Amino acid sequence: MDHDTEFAAYAEEAWPALVRSAVFLGCRRPEAEDLAQTTLTHCYASWARVRAADNRDAYVYRMLVNSLRDSRRRRWWGERPTDELPEGPAAGRTDETARVDTADAIHRAMTGLSKVNRDVVVLRYFAQLTEQQTAEALGIPAGTVKSRLSRALRQLASDRHLTDVGALTEGLHGRGTP
pLDDT in tens, 26-61: 889 999 999 999 999 999 999 999 989 989 999 999
Radius of gyration (C-alpha) of the chain in whole angstroms:
17
Domains along the sequence of the chain with CATH: 3-74 (1.10.1740.10), 95-172 (1.10.10.10)
163 vs 132, residue with greater confidence: 132
pLDDT above 70 as % of the chain = 79
Predicted confidence (pLDDT) per residue in 99-138, tens digit:
777 778 888 888 889 999 999 999 998 899 999 999 999 9
How far is 109 from 126, CA to CA, in rounded Å?
14
pLDDT, mean over the chain: 82
- pTM for this entry: 0.55
Collapsing DSSP to helix, strand or coil, 76 comes out as coil
pLDDT for position 75? 56
Per-residue pLDDT at 158: 85
Counting Cβ atoms within 10 Å, is residue 79 exposed (0-12), middle (13-18) or buried (19+)? exposed
The model's pLDDT over 135-158, given as tens digits with 9 standing for 90+, comes to: 999 999 999 999 999 999 999 888
